[in-house]
Chains A and B, each alone.
Chain A
Amino acid sequence: MSAAKPQGLISPPPETPDELYEHAPCGYLTTQADGTIVRVNATLLGMLGKPATQLLGQRIQNILTPAARIFYETHCAPLLAVNGRLNEISIDLARGVDGPLPTLMNWRAVDDGDGRLLGYRIMIISAIERVAYERELLAERERARQQEAMVRELNADLERRVDARTADLVQAQKMESLGQLTGGVAHDFNNLLTPMLITLDLLSTRYVTDERALRMTKSAISAAERARVLIARLLAFARRQHLKARAVDLTQMTQGMQELITQSLGPLIRLDVQIDPDLPPALVDLNQLEMALLNLCVNARDAMPEGGTATIAGDTVTIRSQGDLAPGQYVRLSVSDTGTGMDVDTLRRAAEPFYSTKVTGKSTGLGLSMVHGLAAQSGGRLVLESTPGHGTTATIWLPVDLSAASVAEPAAAVRAPLPALSILLVDDDDLVRFAAAEMLVDRGHTVVQASSGLEALEALRRHPAVDLLITDYLMPGMTGVECARIARMSRPGLPVLLVTGYADIKDVDAGGLPRLAKPFNVDELSAMIAEALGAGGSRPLKSSLV
């Protein structure tokens, strides 16, 4: 743009008082102290579409809309009284049939110089466009406010879910660590318990004749037996028990247990069984599952001291993939109660070993831990759901057995007494080996001892007439399975019995060898020897191991 003075433009003449007041580009009026209008300019009359006679002598409140009157009285009047001015007040004037006229007003008090209020000078600008814009702005702000609230709620929800997931993860890691610790401790205790049980067994059956000493020995045996049960539960929780998984018909199993369960629940609790009769068989250890179901029923009873209903239900579900679970079909066996329920924290910790809400002495705190371990080791899981005051449901998920229909429990074979055998006994733990040897000798067998796989192979070479190899599985240098494989190279068909501390080998690793879990007593050992002799010739080690 050129800086030169524009050519041909003439400045307007100075304003006349009439032009400055009457036709100023804004409305203007003067009131007395009580608001009575005494002067008004033409611009305002034009804005309102009214003659001066309709305004003069009126109080200014009377030309406000009803809403504006409240606003004036509640917000403007006190400000005016204290400050003597109002700036940019957004307020509506009444225009009769034309509807409200939104305006912006400035007010200024006029006094006589001594502080006595004479009236007010008021400037008024039409704010129709501005108010329309403000309304849009307000609507936009309201929308933003709602969206912000929504985002805040979503965030809070997300945080809650992350917190819950984190807590679940921490709990899962804790369970894993507890499992490792429990499994390790239980394994070592098992090894200690084995010679104790064997020795006590021998003492009571053979060497102790004094009645008092016999009583003491038997009480030591029963304590050791209890320790064995406790360790078995710990191993179950640690998912390291020796499971004999096979097809189990849940309907049949529950029916078979119904009387026992009813007795356990007591007279105050009604039992309701709802199992789909066409339920496919589950792949699980039957004995362990029976114990688990009984455990859950006892928990249900304890949750309903005033009585109620315990429901055992069974159904199936097919999943793509969920957490640790493989995709496929699962059988679900659940026990629900109508009892006291658990809060979130209790529920989360319920399956921890030794965590119990029951009165001390009433519970081992291992019931749910054992069920949890069994379900997980079987390829399923334990799901606990509870609402305080509305009961608890414990559901065991188990993989469906896809191989064949369920098999009935084989009838225990009638065993013939064992002939006197020449046995090669291998265990790196001297205590276990000595005790087992004592037991075998006591039963009339001849025993050759070895403390490692290599030693055993050497002994086999020196004693070719050995009838049976009994070997520990986990040993330094060479495992029991490796030892058996090499032994059978020179002695094909040699019967082998594998002794395991806990389920530290999978079935396939055992090469189909008969297994005896520590700790064991005389009868269990004899039974497994019989099985090993029976299997020796007909069941060679699987090719992968030979």
Chain B
Amino acid sequence: MTGNANMDVLRRNNLIVSGHGARSIVFSHGFGCDLSTRRDVSPAFEADFRVVLFDHVGAGGSDTLAYQPAKYATLSGYAQDVLDMMTALDLANAVFVGHSVPAIIAMLAASQQPERFASLVMICPSPCYLNDGADRGGFDKADIAGLFDMLDRNFLSWSRATAPAIMGNADRPGLGTALSDSICRMDPEIGRRFARVTFLSDHRADLPKLGTRSLILQTGADMVAPISVGEYVADTLRDGTFVMMQATGHWPHMSAPAETIDAIRHFLAA
């Protein structure tokens, strides 16, 4: 990859690198948010790791003009971006922490280029949100249709409120300033498409293809990814370790950062 192509990738995905260490750890944000959701967890690794944060295209400080509907119509498009970034930064044997759908995106990327991934940390992952016979993703089609409807309604008003922040890439505030204002910036149109890709995908068949050592961090009372789904993921992966956290809800890295940091450290030390 050329220097310019590298710069394009770094700009496209708003890559931010910090910390020191021979090894690298990459944090990926979940559906609905951007890299700033990692602020309570990622600094804890800066002493020992080169820490990489990024935004998926359409979220946070990413280049929304880089959004191509055909490319991002499946999670594979996002997985390609992950590989592009790792190539641009020349990452090998990295730890990848993915929350929710990015855990699945990372799984697809690691299956393609395993040498780049030492291990995966999957927080509240779900390979398929829809119920399918005995496999209970947690939601039926009407539920997901209701979600799309609700997203549209909210984006209707949010798009007005968030548009200036999204479009103002040139004078985008840095990570350290006005964090609360920049959280969860998502281009509304891309957001509604991303929701469809996320909640209508079925990657159960891809789970057994992953050879990378993986940690599944599951919380109680997660309304998006039930415990049974987390257990299913751990059981189906070739090298999956299941850890049930004390934390509740879908965002343990925000609601219980200390427990999340400990669980990751413990897994990496083992």
Contacts and interface: CB of A to CB of B under 8 A. Distances in A.
A binds B: yes
Interface of A: 34, 59, 61, 64-75, 77-79, 81-83, 88-92, 100, 102, 131, 134-135, 137-138
A199 B76 CA distance: 81
A70 to B, nearest CB: 5
B30 A71 contact: no
15 contacts: A64-B223, A67-B146, A68-B146, A68-B150, A70-B223, A73-B249, A75-B151, A75-B184, A77-B254, A78-B32, A78-B37, A83-B183, A90-B153, A102-B153, A138-B156
Given A78-B37, A81-B251, 7 more contacts: A64-B223, A66-B138, A69-B223, A74-B224, A81-B254, A88-B157, A138-B156
B152 interface: yes
Nearest to A83: B180
A67 B157 CA distance: 19
Contacts, number: 97
Contacts of A90: 150, 153-154, 157
Contact of A73 (B36, B157, B199, B251): B251
A91 B250 CA distance: 18
Contacts of B199: 70
B224 A79 contact: no
Interface residues of B, number: 39
Interface in B167-204: 179-180, 183-184, 199
A71 B221 contact: no
B100 interface: yes
B152 A138 contact: yes
B93 interface: no
List of 6 A-B pairs having minimum Cβ-Cβ separation, nearest first: A67-B146, A69-B223, A73-B250, A74-B32, A66-B143, A67-B147
Interface string B192-225: 0000000100000000000000000000011110
A131 B150 CA distance: 10
Contacts of A67: 139, 143-147, 149-150
Interface in B26-50: 30-33, 36-37
B223 A72 contact: yes
User: Which of B144, B249, B251 has the most chain A CB atoms inside 10 A of its CB?
Assistant: B249
User: Which of A71, A88, A92 has the most chain B CB atoms inside 10 A of its CB?
Assistant: A71
Given A82-B183, A90-B153, A90-B154, A65 B146 contact: yes
B228 interface: no
A104 to B, nearest CB: 10
Interface string B126-142: 00010000000011100
Contacts of B144: 67
Nearest to B255: A81
A88 B184 CA distance: 16
A73 B154 contact: no
Nearest to A73: B250
Contact of A61 (B152, B179, B221): B221
Contacts of A131: 153
Nearest to B179: A82
A155 B101 CA distance: 38
A65 B149 CA distance: 12
B68 interface: no
Contacts of A73: 222-224, 249-251
B184 A78 contact: yes
A83 B149 CA distance: 25
A89 B154 CA distance: 7
A67 B250 CA distance: 14
Contact of B33 (A64, A78, A83): A78
Contacts of B183: 78-79, 82-83
Contacts of A69: 223-224
Contacts of B250: 73-74, 77
A91 B179 CA distance: 25
Contact of A92 (B33, B129, B150, B156): B150
A304 B199 CA distance: 54
